[in-house]
Amino acid sequence: MWKTICRSILICLIVIGCLHSTTATAAPVEKAIFAGGCFWCMEQPFDSLPGVLSVMPGYTGGTKLNPTYQEVSAGGTGHTEAVEIIFDPTKVSYEKLLQVFWRNIDPTKADRQFCDIGSQYRAAIFYLSDQQRTLALASKEDISKIKRFKEPVVTEIVPASRFYAAEEYHRQYYKKNPIRYRFYRSNCGRDKRLKELWGTAAGH
């Protein structure tokens, strides 16, 4: 009888210890969704940030179910190219992600970014919580106060909707096709315009 009780207690302690260990080692993760024109160019700056666990290019903000790249790029789906970021908030803050976001877009343009024209290339912050909304609005206000731009800041801050991952060949395009990627950035005037807008802070 006593042996049975002791064995039961031991088993319970082992189970509790395992659960505690699993909880203690599980890294807290959060999600952020940003759109800033071509998702190839928005993937790289976040991918290199310590604390960012993954960056997925895709489509969001529209009504078409399971959209393809061809459908989104042609317009009419309501979706925009975007990136979904999974990050560890103990290593990188949402405020830092916002900072990187702003310095990789032209916040004075609506329904276009650089050489890409249409609502499918609009810049936007898609918030997933009230806290993200508050921080996003505050960051937009800070950007507007800088008075760096002659035009107003028109970037959207809207609730997140369903995010659709892009096709495999788009993922980490900057690594898979570095020459084409650099040519696209240069030919689209992205880096030149970012430098005009943000100076040495461009891209950071």
5 confidence band (pLDDT: 50, 70, 90): very low
Residue 7: band (very low, low, confident or very high) from pLDDT cuts 50, 70, 90: low
Region for residue 199 given its phi and psi (left: phi exceeds 0; alpha: psi -120 to 50; beta: otherwise): left
pLDDT tens digits, 138-165: 999 999 988 778 899 999 999 999 999 9
pLDDT above 80: residue 10 = no
pLDDT: which is higher, 49 or 203: 49
Closest CA to 174 of 117, 104, 123: 104
For the stretch 46-104, pLDDT in tens is 998 999 999 999 999 999 999 999 999 999 999 999 999 999 999 999 999 999 999 99
**pTM for this predicted structure:** 0.86
Which stretches within the chain are classed as H helix?
A: 2-25, 39-47, 69-74, 94-102, 130-145, 173-176, 178-187, 190-198
Topology of the domain covering 27-201: Peptide Methionine Sulfoxide Reductase; Chain A (3.30.1060)
**How many other β-carbons are positioned within 10 Å of the β-carbon of residue 191?**
15
In percent, how much of the chain has pLDDT > 90?
79
Amino acid at 49: L
Residues 121-130 have a mean pLDDT of 98
Whole-number Å distance between alpha carbons of 185 and 197: 16
Residues with a known catalytic role: 38
Is the pLDDT score of 12 beyond 70? no
| Pairwise pLDDT comparison (146 vs 39), residue with the higher score | 39
Burial (0-12, 13-18, 19+ Cβ within 10 Å), 126? buried
Q: Which residues of 93-108 are buried (b: 16+ CB within 10 A; e: fewer)?
A: ebebbbbbbbbbbbbe
Domain boundaries, the chain: 27-201
Q: What is the pLDDT of residue 128?
A: 98
Does the structure show a pLDDT above 60 at 11? no
